[in-house]
Amino acid sequence: MTFSQIACVADTTEKAQKAFKELSKRYNFVSLSKPKATKSKARRGANPVDAIVVLGGDGFMLETLHKYMSRDIPIYGMNCGTVGFLLNSYSPHNLLERINEARISRLHPLRMFARTQSGKQQELLAFNEVSLFRQSRQAARIRVTVDHVVRVQEMVADGIMVATPAGSTAYNFSAGGPILPFSANLICLTPISPFRPRRWRGALLPHNSSITFEILEPKKRPVSAVADFTEIRDVVSVAITENTKTTLSLLFDPEHALEERMVKEQFMY
């Protein structure tokens, strides 16, 4: 596939806006507005955008993934933030050549289905992680079930998370979870500041595992659930599975391929 119709979005930070102005002078970016409906079958479902250039940090990249995931457009990020794990290095030169030579990494998000104390049910997607957090001074009490088998009858902790390989280098790693190679077909189950069981430090599970968290004493020890950056408070149960119906394509320079980054991250000290 040749990428020629390129759109560009930028964070509101000074660095990202400066980069956007610089690139806009060099390249003719196309609009991200959806194509108008037409009776022509040949045009039906057509998308005039071949790729989206994202200027910002990992947070803005994550927001962009959520915003445009239904469009099925490959995304090429350039770091105008801090860490930039999901982005390439910024340069205004040879942008089209870089995009066309980039390697594609395909992501499937996690699907979170949460039910609250009021009976409300909500479904969200997460590309990095789904996290549960205590809402009060008291530790949360959570039962952990994997593929319909109770694995932890009662966990007492600040919370727990399920992280994808793409998210394993972020909060998961800070909480003591492992970094997963992108091709490992695994997900991380990582407790957050666990008190009991004292010796349990999490698990590595097949990517297609079904995980359920049941909140014990939800009124006395309320818990919130967060899918990437969207929070649902006062949950009583959270079910998590991989959503294979949604696929996102990220473009990386050959020397900064996502698989290599995940290996390299494990040797940083």
Catalytic residues: 58
Cβ-count burial 56-80 (b if 16+ within 10 Å, e if not)? bbbebbbbbbbebbeeebbbbbbbb
Judge whether 202 and 180 are in contact, CB under 8 Å. Answer: no
How far, in Å, CA of 269 to CA of 252, rounded?
24
Strand, helix or coil for residue 62: helix
How far, in Å, CA of 250 to CA of 257, rounded?
10
Complete DSSP assignment for 82-135: S--TTSBPP-SSSHHHHHHHPEEEEE--EEEEEEETTS-EEEEEESSEEEEEE-
Tokens 């000074």 belong to 14
- Nearest CA to 241 among 113, 145, 111? 111
Q: Estimate the share of the chain in helix, then strand, then coil, as percent rounded to the nearest 5.
A: 20, 40, 40
